[in-house]
Amino acid sequence: MHLLDLDVLSREDVLKIIEYGIYFKKNRRKHEKVLDGKSVAIIFEKPSTRTRMSFDIAVYELGGHPLIMNQNEIHLGKKESIKDTAKVMSRYVDAIVARVYKHRHLEEMAKYSTVPVINALSDLAHPCQILADLMTIKEYKGKFNGLKIAYLGDGNNVCNSLILGSALVGMDMVVATPKGYEPNAKTVLKAKEIIEEYGEGSLTLTNNPIEAAEDADILYTDVWVSMGDEKDKEEVLKIFPPFQINNKLLEYAKDDVIVMHCLPANRGLEITDDVIDGEHSVVYDEAENRLHVQKGVFKFIFEQ
């Protein structure tokens, strides 16, 4: 199976991957070697700290061999078609992890690859990040049902996958963006179908940050301008500030709210220093959990 976004998973699958992540975290270095004798290609068209390190170390600690390639070290889509690259790579490796600009390039790779393709971030989605975030929420809150999660800022890749992840585990999600920066319409539709299927959770889109923050158990934000994004930066600085997570906004949320950010953060823009460094912030747990949950993803994929 391929993991291009979370909608390929059921609720049961997501909960299983989180459980695996928790198991791998508890048993660091003395766990089963799920990738024993296997090789994993890890491709980056854009910079990365967390994804690059966590995948490299996850593969190594699972007994496999990680092969990291940056954009300028591979022909991908330039000197060679994505189709040929995917077919050739499938003859060498057991899985492909890729961070790309265009999600449709990932879809093309998945179409021609005979080994699993895992999305390490595209312009549409960031599923591995959200699995780590759901694991973090499980650790802090012990449950998903009945929780209100508020995402504030740009309706980007992280927001899209968070919408699917929240729907899958049955949380009540409110997404607050400026007008014109709403999340992907197809993703929103899919999430609504998931919510209907399980009969739990909800999804509300608004342009009002206070409505989102009110009584929230979780506040989540991400950068206002993503990598490869061609937004008008001047306009962004004019219209996004009301969506900043700061101490004033925190007052609307529950007393035990947790504050999340996938990182890297633009401190002082989408989130203030005092909040990201404050007692509600769980950002470094999210970053750490990338390592553990991605081991869970490999275990899950290879037992299919």
* Pairing mode, strands 117-119 and 65-70: unpaired
126 is in an annotated binding site: yes
Q: Which does 49 bind (CB under 5 to 8 A by kind): ligand NVA, ligand CP, none?
A: ligand CP
Task: Write the binding mask 121 to 150 for ligand CP: x where contact by CB under 6 A, - elsewhere.
Answer: x-------x---------------------
**Closest to 47 (Cα-Cα) out of 79, 72, 30:** 72
Q: Which does 58 bind (CB under 5 to 8 A by kind): ligand CP, ligand NVA, none?
A: none
Query: C-beta of 105: minimal distance to ligand CP in Å?
Result: 18
Q: How far is CA 277 from CA 48, 259, 283, 286, 287, in A?
A: 22, 10, 9, 14, 14
Q: Which does 171 bind (CB under 5 to 8 A by kind): ligand CP, ligand NVA, none?
A: none
Contact stretch for ligand CP (CB under 6 A) within 27-35, 60-68, 166-174, 260-268 = 260-268
DSSP codes of every residue in 190-234: HHHHHHHHHT--EEEEES-HHHHHTT-SEEEE--SS-TT----HH
Length of the chain: 304
Among residues 31, 103, 290, 292, which one is catalytic? 290
Q: Which does 226 bind (CB under 5 to 8 A by kind): ligand CP, ligand NVA, none?
A: ligand NVA
- Could you say which DSSP state residue 241 is in? G
Q: Which does 88 bind (CB under 5 to 8 A by kind): ligand NVA, ligand CP, none?
A: none
- Rounded to a whole number, what is the distance in angstroms from the first to the last CA of the chain? 8
Asked if 97 is part of the footprint of ligand CP (rule: CB under 6 A), the reply reads: no
Among residues 31, 52, 126, 261, which one is catalytic? 126
Contact 159, 133 (CB under 8 A): no
136 is in an annotated binding site: no
Query: C-beta of 23: minimal distance to ligand NVA in Å?
Result: 25
The nearer residue to ligand CP, 195 or 291, going by C-beta atoms, is 291
Given the rule CB under 6 A, which residues bind ligand NVA?
A: 121, 156-158, 222-223, 226-227, 262
Query: C-beta of 156: minimal distance to ligand NVA in Å?
Result: 5
State which amino acid sits at residue 235: E
Contacts of 234 (CB under 8 A, 6+ apart): none
d(Cα 38, Cα 145) in Å, to the nearest integer?
A: 37
* Residue 11 annotated among the catalytic residues of the structure: no
The nearer residue to ligand CP, 195 or 283, going by C-beta atoms, is 283
Percent of the chain that is helix, strand, coil (3-state, to 5): 45, 15, 40
* Pairing mode, strands 95-99 and 172-176: unpaired
Binding site for ligand CP (CB under 6 A): 48-51, 121, 129, 262-264
Which residue numbers belong to the known binding site for carbamoyl phosphate? Answer: 48-51, 99, 126-129, 262-263, 290
Q: List active site positions.
A: 99, 126, 129, 222, 262, 290
